[in-house]
Amino acid sequence: MKNKESHSKAPIYEALMEYKKARVVSFDVPGHKQGRGNAMLREFLGEQCLSVDVNSMKPLDNLCHPVSVIKEAEELAADAFGSKHAFLMVNGTSSSVQAMVMSVCKKGEKIIMPRNVHRSAINALVVSGAVPVYVNPGVNKELGIPLGMSVKDVERAIKENPDAKAVLVNNPTYYGICSNLKDITELAHKHGMYVLVDEAHGTHFYFGDNMPMSAMEAGADMAAISMHKTGGSLTQSSFLLLNCDLSVGYVRQVINLTQTTSGSYLLMSSLDLARRDLVLHGTETFKKVIEFAEYARDEINKIGGYYAFSEELIDGDTIYDFDRTKLSIFTRGIGLAGIEVYDILRDDYGIQIEFGDIANILAIISVGDKSLAIERLISSLSEIKRLYSKDKAGMFDHEYINPEVVLTPQDAFYSPKISVPMNESDKKICAEFVMCYPPGIPILAPGEKITKEILDYIDYAKEKGCFLTGTEDAKIENINIVSKSINN
């Protein structure tokens, strides 16, 4: 990395400040004209914010083809993350994941990936026509959560599919589980395959001390970095890191297939400023975050019934490492699904956590948290146990069901299909997604066989209050299946 002084620059932010000083009269978009056209919007977001919600112009560069300040911001970001190039992304990390896949896989080409990927990875397959080779992740049956990929399972998939173009790895998972990224990368490279890492929840790996290995350190070819999750930028802003021989220009062409031509300067400047802050202060920032998370974990485990898990799960294989900043808490021990605890925390205690599934909750801890807020979370969980705990008999005991893939996602999604009641879809081929959001990992994806076990899981998730999405039917009562001629 360059010396820290060079990272004190924030070229996009600085260009926006110069633009403001120039008092330019605007006859371009956006039409609110620095907020003058909408008083309520100006009052809500503030004049300072709206004054820099501007259009691309020569002094501010162009995200689709950067040549000046955006190009300089990308170079600083690449240096900060240790990659050959970094692209500023304003369509979310979903767009970054899709660009990774579409940069290395064409229609009909195979990509090896875990099935517990975010929907964005499978969306990339629907759009591109690439063919998934799923490696079922390990499963912790006590916690009911999917884990990382075993190196042996990846090796088996590579040997059975030597023509695959790439291996995609989730690292870390939503729960903080890390795979053996270095060995998987070396194995894939040995067989001429690219390694793509969905590192949406791992921004801090690059800036904190004693963190799990980052994708760039492991030698991966591309990584999607969700800066807004733990890096301090605005929601929907992201980086796509490139670290291989692919042409920067070609990858940008792929990005431009789906990313907006009207890149938000609010999002881009937030990436610029967040990168600056992480390089200058990231070590102390994440030291504090880990201290908060470790303290909360210890205190929650003293309550009893809950299990805030951490490094003790490491087994050198499907749990190769653990992200200690993640406060993942198993709740089934008090007889409540994670989503039930999630709802009680929000509705009764005014605490919004990241997500709840059928057995766990996740609280995101960041430098923006204060000791008092951590104490409030701990005491609220203690009181929830006292007031709401019940017998855990009859609770669903697993979060992940291995799917049976019958058709490629693209073939299934675009096939002739019919809508049937969910309870009449057993043994049919799914033609759309069903998932709880967050985290957005599909329970069913296009091309997968629907089974009674999966339908029971969906019913249970509904009963417990999970927010289900993905189906054309907004009520999630009907599901699109591939039409009868193909099903038979």
Peptide bond into 439 cis (omega under 30): yes
Residue 34: predicted pLDDT = 85
Residue 4: predicted pLDDT = 78
Q: What integer is the mean pLDDT of 443-453? A: 94
Domain architecture of the chain: domains with CATH: 4-279 (3.40.640.10), 282-388 (3.90.1150.10), 409-487 (3.90.105.10)
**How sure is the predictor about 128, in pLDDT bands with cuts at 50, 70 and 90?**
very high
What is the average pLDDT score of the chain? 93
The answer, yes or no, to whether residue 313 has pLDDT greater than 60, is yes
The answer, yes or no, to whether residue 30 has pLDDT greater than 80, is yes
More confident residue, 34 or 209: 209
pLDDT tens digits, one per residue of 38-61: 999 999 999 899 999 998 888 999
Residues whose CB falls within 8 Å of the CB of residue 229, separated by 6 or more in sequence, listed in order: 93, 200, 201, 203, 364
Residue 178: predicted pLDDT = 97
**How sure is the predictor about 315, in pLDDT bands with cuts at 50, 70 and 90?**
very high
Q: How far is Cα 388 from Cα 386, in angstroms, rounded to an integer?
A: 6
pLDDT tens digits, one per residue of 218-250: 999 999 999 999 999 999 999 999 999 999 999
Residue 487: predicted pLDDT = 59
Residue 376: predicted pLDDT = 98
**How sure is the predictor about 70, in pLDDT bands with cuts at 50, 70 and 90?**
very high
Q: What integer is the mean pLDDT of 455-460? A: 90
The answer, yes or no, to whether residue 488 has pLDDT greater than 60, is no
Residues 113, 167 contacting (CB under 8 angstroms): yes
Residue 399: predicted pLDDT = 63
pLDDT tens digits, one per residue of 246-290: 999 999 999 999 999 999 999 999 999 999 999 999 999 999 999
More confident residue, 3 or 224: 224
The answer, yes or no, to whether residue 398 has pLDDT greater than 70, is no
The answer, yes or no, to whether residue 400 has pLDDT greater than 80, is no
> Within a 10 A sphere around the Cβ of 427, how many other Cβ atoms?
10
Residue 112: predicted pLDDT = 98
pLDDT tens digits, one per residue of 359-374: 999 999 987 889 999 9
Residue 2: predicted pLDDT = 73
**How sure is the predictor about 35, in pLDDT bands with cuts at 50, 70 and 90?**
confident
> Within a 10 A sphere around the Cβ of 338, how many other Cβ atoms?
25
* Percentage of residues in the chain having pLDDT higher than 90: 81
pTM of the model: 0.94
Residue 46: predicted pLDDT = 92
The answer, yes or no, to whether residue 6 has pLDDT greater than 60, is yes
Residues 55, 203 contacting (CB under 8 angstroms): no
In terms of C-beta density within 10 A (0-12 exposed, 13-18 middle, 19 or more buried), how is residue 160 classed? exposed
Residues 168, 112 contacting (CB under 8 angstroms): yes
More confident residue, 137 or 375: 375
